[in-house]
Chains A and B, each alone.
Chain A
Amino acid sequence: MRIVLIIIFAAVVVLPIYLIANLTNNPYPADEKGRNIFYSNFTGEPKHLDPARAYSNDEYEFLNQICEPIVQYHYLKRKPSYQLVPLTCEQVPEAKMYDKDGKELGSDAPVEAVVKSVYEIKLKPGIRYQDHPCFAKDAGGKYRWHLAMGESFPKIQHPKNLADVATRTLRAEDYVYQIKRLANPTLECPIAETLVSHLEGFGDLQKKLDEEIGKIRGERRKNGGMFFNQEADEKRNPIYLDMRQPQFDLPGAQVIDELTFRITLTNKYPQMRFWLAMPFFTPVPWEADRFYSQSAAIEQNITLDRFPVGTGAYTLDENNPNYRMVLKRNPNYHPETYPSEGDPEDAGNGLLADAGKTLPFIEEAVYVAEKLPVPKWNKVLQGYYDTSGIESDMYDQAIKISGAGELGLSEEMQAKHLTLATAVETSTWYYAFNMNDPIVGGLDEKKCKLRQALAIAINTEEEIQIFDNGRGIPAQSPMPPGIFGHEDGKEGIDPYVYDWDDKRGAPRRKSLDEAKKLMADAGYPNGRDESGKVLVVNYDCAEQMSEKANLDWMRKQFRQLGVELNLRTTDYNRFQEKVNNGDIQFFKWGWIADYPDPENFLFLLYGPKSASKTPEGPNSANYDNPAFNDRFLKMVNMSDTPERMKIIREMLAIANKDAPWSWGFHPVAFGLAHEWLKNSKPMLLGGNSLKYKRIDAQLREQRRAEWNQPVRYPIWIALTLLVLTAIPAAFIVYRRERSAPAA
C-alpha cells in the first residue's frame, strides 16, 4: 500500500515538478547542442524531388543541394548579370551552330540560318554519387536491391535504412538517361513542351514512350477483369522503362564516351545554357531508376520523387515535409573550393574571407516546417533559425527607415547583431489590359492614350510603400535588374509614365494633370465619354492575390481620373478561366522567371502567344503588335550583344507607347542573418547556396543561452496559489460534515 502511495505521489507531484523544472524553449534535441548544423525553415511543402518533375523554389531549396547540373551560377559574381560557371563539367559548353549544308556558323549567326546547334559536354573525372542501396552489389556482382517482382524489402522509412550501400562514379550516360526521362509522359515533366521544339527527336521519343505505356496499360486493363484499377495495378506491378534500350534512343542527347555527351538542338536557342543549370538536367543513374521502379519500394512510399540520388554536396537524410527535412554532408563530394572573386562590394561584406577553402562547410542542415509567420519570427529572434525573410507583419519590428530614407535594421535587431541583405527578385507584378476589349483594348492612338493615362494614375511607388513596406522597385519594363535588357538611369525609363528628374537622378511619375490631358485626348474628359457617361473599368482579381485595402486603393487611383473601377473578385480557378476566355478587362498578375534572359519576360507580350490565340497562352493581355512580334522573334535567340540590346530598346519603345501593361513593380527580397552565419548572400537563381555557408556554432550557443533563460517562478507561484485557494473549500467541507445534515 505504501509503495502504491509513493508511486501516486511521484506521478502527481514529483513528475510534473521535474518536467516543469526541465522545460526549455529550445525546439531541438539536446544532443544537437554546439554542433555544426544549419537551421532554417520552409512553408511550402516540397512536393516533387524527382529532378524531372520539380519546378518550384520550395523544391529547389533541397534538390539543388543534392543533384548537380553540369553548370551553376557564380555564387558571388552577379554584376552586370548572372554568370554561369562549371560544376560537374570541365568548362561551360558553347554551342556550335550549323546551317542546312552542315557548315559551321559563328555565334552571331542569324536565327533562320541555324538548323542545328550542338553542345558537347565533357565531365570532370572521378565525381562520385552519394552512397545508396541502388548501387550495392552482392559477392556475385548482382545488384543487391534490384529485386524481382513479388520480392520485398525489409520495412524501411528511407533507402539509407537498407543494410548495403555503395557508390559509383558519375558517367555521361547518367545525364543522357535523365534527359530521356523528361520525355516520359507519366512523369509529367513541366518543361517537356519547351524541349519538343528544341531538342532533336524529343517529340518522337515522347510519342514512342506514350505508345509503349499505352500498350502496356491497355493489355493490363484487358487482362485485369471487371474491377481493374490502374493505380492499384501499377503499385503492385510498376511500369519500368529502361531508357538505355536502343528503341528509346534520343538523337538530341547522345553519349560519346564515358565522360562526354552531346546535346543537339534543331535551332539556335542560346537560352538552353540556362536550362542546363536547372535540376531537369541533372544526372539520374539507371540503377536509381530501376531501384525506385519496383513495387517493394513503391509500396513503402520509397520513390525517386521523395529520395533523390545525386552527386551534390548534400544528401537528403530525412524527408518528412510535414515536420522537417534534413540534409547531411555527402562524404563522397568532389573537391570544390569557395570562389575567390565576387562583386565589388563582396570583399567589404566579408564574403571573400573563405576564398579557396574546401566546400561544403556545414555538416548538416535542418529545415523545419513552419506554416505561420508569427511563431517562425519568434524563433528567429530566439536564435533558433539562422536566417529569415521579413514578412509584412514583422516589418515594423525589424526595419527602420532613417531620416534620409535609408533602410536599416531597428534597434532591437541591431542589439541582436542581425545583418540585413536585400535583393531584387527575378520576378514582376504587373497590371494588364485585355487588348481585345472594345473599351480599354485596341492599338489606335486614343486607346493607347487611355491606357497611358491609367498607367500614370496607378501610383506604383505609393502601392509599394503602403502594401509592401517599400519592398519593391517600380518597374520601367518587364525586366528586373540583373536581367539583360534592364537599364538603369534615364535611358531605361518608360517616357509615357515617367519623367527623368535630373536633380535626384531618378525617375519621377508624371503628374495627374498630364494623365487628365491624355484622358481628354482619348475621348474621356474627366473620365466621361461623349454621352457624359462615366467610364467603368472592370478589375478582375483572384481573392488570394489582393486584400480588400489594396482593392480600395486601386479604386481610388482610378477615381483620380474620374474613372470608376468595378471590382470583380473570384477564386483563382475562375480567374484563370476568365483570362483564358478573354472575359476580362483589367487585371493584376505576376511572373517569376525561369532563367535570367529577357526572352523569359518579353514572351509575355508576344502576340501569337496570346491567350486568345494559343490555348492557355501566357500573353494574357492579348497584346499583339506586329512590329513588336517581329523584333521579338529576332531577339529571342540572339546572344547578349549590343545588337540585342538595341532591339530590346526598340521593343520597349513600342510597348511603352501601346501600354498593354502598367509595368507594376519588381519585388525586393529582404533577408536577415544572424552574426554566426557567414557567407550569406541572397541567391535568387540556382539556389545551391548551402555549400557556401558557414556557421560559428560556438557563438550561436552562447547567444541562445543569453537570450533564452527560462523564467519558472510564475509557474511555482501559480501552483502555490491553486493549493492555497483549496484551503477555504476544504474548510467548508469540514464544517458541513460536522454540522447538522443539510436542510
Chain B
Amino acid sequence: MIAYIIRRILYGIPILLGVNVIVFVLFFLVNTPDDMARVHVGKQPTPDKIEKWKREHSLDLPKFYNDGWRRVASFAPVKSEDPQKPGDKTQFELQSAGEYRLSLESPASSREWQPRTLQVKANPKERVKLPAEFNADGVLELPADGMRREFLFEVPPFEQGAEPPALDVTFSMKEPTPLQRIVLEYHGSISFAARFTDTIFFQRSLKSLFFDYGKSDDGKEIAGEISKRIAPSLSIAIPAFIFGILFDIFFAMMAAFFRGTYIDYWGVTLCVLMMSISSMFYILGGQVIFGKILKLVPISGYGYGVDSYKFVALPVVVLVIAGMGSGIRFYRTIFLEEINKDYVRTARSKGMPERRVLFIHVLKNAMLPILTGAVVSIPFLFTGNLVEEAFFAIPGMGSFTIDAIHSQDFAIVQAMVSLGSFLYIIALIMTDISYTIFDPRVRLG
C-alpha cells in the first residue's frame, strides 16, 4: 500500500506540472505582460512606467526559453513636446563588449508605417562594428512596409575601466507615426540552466509547485493571504459539508424506507423542484427572509470568534438546502440499488426489521459510493465557494480568486489553481485509501 501511495504521489507531479503549464499559457494568451502592467501603473500609463513595472515583476523576461538576448534599453521616439521637431534622439551606452541587437518594435496596427530614416552613430566610431545596411554616416532609409527590423552589430572587447562606447540613435520621420519603440538588446553569456530559469515561467509560475506562491502583483505575500482566508471559507464549507451529508443521507434513507409510498413520491418531486432552482435564488431569498423580514441574521458580513455563528448560520443553511435536491436523489438511488441485493433479502428473510436492515446493513454497504463523492469534494471546501462568498461578503478563498481574475493578477490565479489541483490529487489518493478501510475486499497495489 505504501508503494502504491508513493507511486500515486509521483504520478501527481507531471499532472501538477501540466496544470501549471496550461494555466500559464491560458493566462498569458488573454493577458499580455503589458496589459497586466497597465492595470497596476495607474491612470496614465507611459511606456517607461510599463517597462519598469514589468522589470520589477520579472515580466520582461522571455516566457519559456531565454536565448540570452537581454533588453538593456529601449526608447519611444517622438516624445518631444514640439511637433515641429523632425525627430528624437537618444543615446545608448554599450556597457560591455559583445553582440548587440537594435530592433524597431511596433505593436500590431492596421495602419501603415510612414517612411522614415534611422541614423545610428557610434561614438567613438571605430569601437563599434555597425551592420552593412547603414551607409558611412550610419544613415538608413526605411521603406514604409511596417515590418519589424533587426540590426546586429558588435562591440569588440575593450579594457576594463575604459569609457564604454555609446550609440546615438536618431529617428526621423516626415509624418507623425504610430507608436514605436527602439529596443537595444545585448547577448550576454548565458548558462544552460539559466536559459530555462531566467524565464517568466520559471520565475513566476513553476515555484508554485513547491508551495512557494510569492507575492501578488500588489505586493502581498500570497501564502499569508491564504492562511488568513482559509478559516472563513472553512467555517462555512465544513459545517455545510457535514450537515449536508447527514441530512442528505437521512432523507435519502427515509425515501428508500418509504419507497413507493406517497412520502417517497412527493419527496422526489420536491427534490427535483429544489434542484431546478438556481442557487442564487436561495441566497437572495435567504437574505430577504432571514435578514430583512425576520431580522434574525445579518444580511451579509463576517465575524471572527464566537461572534461568527450568526454570520455563518445563513450561508450554511443556504448551502445545505441548495445541495439537498440533487444530494438526496443521488443517495436514494444508491440505497435503492443496495436494497435489491441478495444480502438484504437474506437479512429480511431472517426476520430482521426493515429499520435495522436499512440503517445498519444497507448503510454500511452504500458507504463506498458515498465516500467517493464526499472525499473528492473535500478540496473544494478549501478553494471556497465563489458565488456565495461574494454575496455574503465572506473574506474567504473564493472571493480571493474572483478578485484576482478581475485584477489580472497572475500570481494569485496560479497559486489558487496549483493549490486546488494539489488538493484534488491528494483527495483522490485518500479516496482510494478509504476504500480499503470500508471494503476489506479492496487491495491497493
Q: Show the binding face of A for B, using Cβ within 8 Å.
A: 19-20, 23-27, 29, 45, 47-48, 55, 185-186, 188, 190, 192-193, 226-232, 235, 299-301, 303, 305-306, 320, 322-323, 368-372, 374-376, 378-379, 382, 384, 573, 576-577, 580-583, 592, 594, 607-608, 610-616, 618, 624, 629, 708-712, 714-715, 729, 732-733, 736-737, 741-742
Interface size on B, residues (CB 8 A): 92
Q: Give every chain B residue within 8 A of A27 (Cβ-Cβ).
A: 298-301, 303, 311
Tell me if B47 is interfacial: C-beta within 8 Å of chain A: yes
Known: A27-B301, A29-B307, A580-B107. A45 touches B403 (CB 8 A): yes
Q: Nearest Cβ in chain A — how far from B259, in angstroms?
A: 11
> Does the CB pair B203–A229 fall under 8 Å?
yes
Q: Per-residue 0/1 for B198-215: is the Cβ within 8 Å of any A Cβ (1 yes, 0 no)?
A: 000001000100001011
Q: Quick one: which of B172-194 are within 8 Å of A by CB?
A: 176-179, 181, 191, 193-194
> Does the CB pair B221–A301 fall under 8 Å?
yes
Interface centre among A192, A573, A616 (most CB of B within 10 A): A616
Q: Show the binding face of B for A, using Cβ within 8 Å.
A: 31-32, 35, 38, 40-50, 52-53, 56, 58, 76, 78-83, 107-111, 176-179, 181, 191, 193-194, 197, 203, 207, 212, 214-215, 218-221, 224, 228-229, 232, 254, 257-258, 261, 263, 284, 287, 291-303, 307, 309-311, 313, 348, 351, 353-355, 390-393, 395-396, 399-400, 403
Known: A29-B307, A577-B107, A737-B354. A375 touches B391 (CB 8 A): yes
Task: Return the chain A residue nearest B392 by Cβ.
Answer: A375
Q: Give every chain B residue within 8 A of A55 (Cβ-Cβ).
A: 42-43
| A305→B400 CA distance, assembly (Å) | 19
Known: A23-B297, A573-B31, A711-B296. A48 touches B78 (CB 8 A): no
Q: Give every chain A residue within 8 A of B197 (Cβ-Cβ).
A: 226-228
| A467→B37 CA distance, assembly (Å) | 32
> Does the CB pair A24–B296 fall under 8 Å?
yes
> Does the CB pair B111–A581 fall under 8 Å?
yes
| A624→B56 CA distance, assembly (Å) | 35
> Does the CB pair B299–A608 fall under 8 Å?
no
Q: Give every chain B residue within 8 A of A736 (Cβ-Cβ).
A: 354
Q: Give every chain B residue within 8 A of A742 (Cβ-Cβ).
A: 348, 354
A-B contact pairs, 8 of them (CB 8 A): A190-B49, A193-B44, A193-B46, A300-B224, A322-B396, A612-B176, A741-B348, A741-B351
Q: Nearest Cβ in chain B — how far from A56, in angstroms?
A: 8
Q: Known pairs A24-B310, A582-B109; list 8 more (Cβ under 8 Å).
A: A24-B295, A25-B297, A188-B41, A573-B38, A580-B107, A708-B295, A710-B295, A711-B293
Name the one of B48, B220, B228 contacting A193, with C-beta atoms under 8 angstroms: B48
Q: Give every chain B residue within 8 A of A320 (Cβ-Cβ).
A: 228, 395
Interface of chain A, main secondary structure: loop
> Does the CB pair A583–B111 fall under 8 Å?
yes
> Does the CB pair A608–B393 fall under 8 Å?
no
| A306→B110 CA distance, assembly (Å) | 44
| A557→B320 CA distance, assembly (Å) | 50
Q: Give every chain B residue within 8 A of A614 (Cβ-Cβ).
A: 46, 78-79
Q: Give every chain B residue within 8 A of A185 (Cβ-Cβ).
A: 52, 56
Q: Give every chain B residue within 8 A of A24 (Cβ-Cβ).
A: 295-296, 310
| A577→B228 CA distance, assembly (Å) | 37
Q: Give every chain A residue within 8 A of B392 (Cβ-Cβ).
A: 375
Name the one of B108, B214, B287, B299 contacting A232, with C-beta atoms under 8 angstroms: B214
| A55→B207 CA distance, assembly (Å) | 31
Name the one of A29, A581, A711 contacting B294, with C-beta atoms under 8 angstroms: A711
Q: Give every chain A residue within 8 A of B108 (Cβ-Cβ).
A: 581
Task: Return the chain B residue nearest A729 by Cβ.
Answer: B263
> Does the CB pair B38–A576 fall under 8 Å?
yes
Task: Return the chain A residue nearest B76 by Cβ.
Answer: A615
Q: Give every chain B residue within 8 A of A580 (Cβ-Cβ).
A: 107, 179
| A582→B194 CA distance, assembly (Å) | 39
Known: A29-B307, A188-B56, A733-B355. A368 touches B301 (CB 8 A): yes
Name the one of B52, B191, B215, B355 contacting A231, with C-beta atoms under 8 angstroms: B215
> Does the CB pair B79–A615 fall under 8 Å?
yes
Name the one of B40, B52, B218, B313 contacting A23, with C-beta atoms under 8 angstroms: B313
> Does the CB pair A582–B178 fall under 8 Å?
yes
> Does the CB pair B56–A186 fall under 8 Å?
yes
Q: Give every chain B residue within 8 A of A616 (Cβ-Cβ).
A: 44-47, 50, 179
> Does the CB pair A737–B287 fall under 8 Å?
no
> Does the CB pair A369–B218 fall under 8 Å?
no
Interface centre among A192, A323, A374, A580 (most CB of B within 10 A): A323
> Does the CB pair A301–B220 fall under 8 Å?
yes
Known: A19-B309, A24-B310. A612 touches B41 (CB 8 A): no
Task: Return the chain B residue nearest A733 by Cβ.
Answer: B355
> Does the CB pair B296–A23 fall under 8 Å?
yes
Q: Nearest Cβ in chain A — how far from B177, in angstroms?
A: 8
> Does the CB pair B287–A374 fall under 8 Å?
yes
> Does the CB pair B56–A25 fall under 8 Å?
no
| A594→B299 CA distance, assembly (Å) | 36
> Does the CB pair B296–A608 fall under 8 Å?
no
| A375→B311 CA distance, assembly (Å) | 13
> Does the CB pair A608–B53 fall under 8 Å?
no
> Does the CB pair A714–B294 fall under 8 Å?
yes
> Does the CB pair B41–A371 fall under 8 Å?
no
> Does the CB pair B58–A25 fall under 8 Å?
no
Q: Nearest Cβ in chain B — how far from A637, in angstroms?
A: 13
| A616→B51 CA distance, assembly (Å) | 12
Q: Give every chain B residue within 8 A of A384 (Cβ-Cβ).
A: 298
> Does the CB pair A608–B391 fall under 8 Å?
no
Name the one of A228, A583, A710 contacting B110, with C-beta atoms under 8 angstroms: A583
Task: Return the chain A residue nearest B224 by Cβ.
Answer: A301
> Does the CB pair B80–A608 fall under 8 Å?
yes
Q: Nearest Cβ in chain B — how far from A384, in angstroms?
A: 8
Task: Return the chain B residue nearest A708 by Cβ.
Answer: B295
Q: Give every chain B residue within 8 A of A23 (Cβ-Cβ).
A: 296-297, 310, 313
| A594→B41 CA distance, assembly (Å) | 15
> Does the CB pair A372–B215 fall under 8 Å?
no
| A733→B291 CA distance, assembly (Å) | 38
| A25→B297 CA distance, assembly (Å) | 4
Interface centre among B38, B193, B296 (most CB of A within 10 A): B296
> Does the CB pair B299–A25 fall under 8 Å?
yes
| A585→B365 CA distance, assembly (Å) | 69
Task: Return the chain B residue nearest A626 by Cβ.
Answer: B83
Per CB-CB distance, the 4 closest pairs between chain A and chain B, nearest first, are A322-B395, A190-B42, A27-B298, A375-B300
Name the one of A193, A369, A613, A711 contacting B83, with C-beta atoms under 8 angstroms: A613
Q: Give every chain A residue within 8 A of B232 (Cβ-Cβ).
A: 323
Known: A48-B218, A301-B224. A323 touches B302 (CB 8 A): yes
Q: Give every chain A residue within 8 A of B111 (Cβ-Cβ).
A: 581-583
Q: Nearest Cβ in chain A — how far from B242, in angstroms?
A: 14
Q: Nearest Cβ in chain A — how far from B357, in angstroms?
A: 10
| A573→B48 CA distance, assembly (Å) | 18
Q: Give every chain B residue within 8 A of A29 (Cβ-Cβ).
A: 303, 307
> Does the CB pair A573–B35 fall under 8 Å?
yes
Q: Give every chain B residue within 8 A of A368 (Cβ-Cβ).
A: 301, 393
| A712→B296 CA distance, assembly (Å) | 7
> Does the CB pair A188–B296 fall under 8 Å?
no
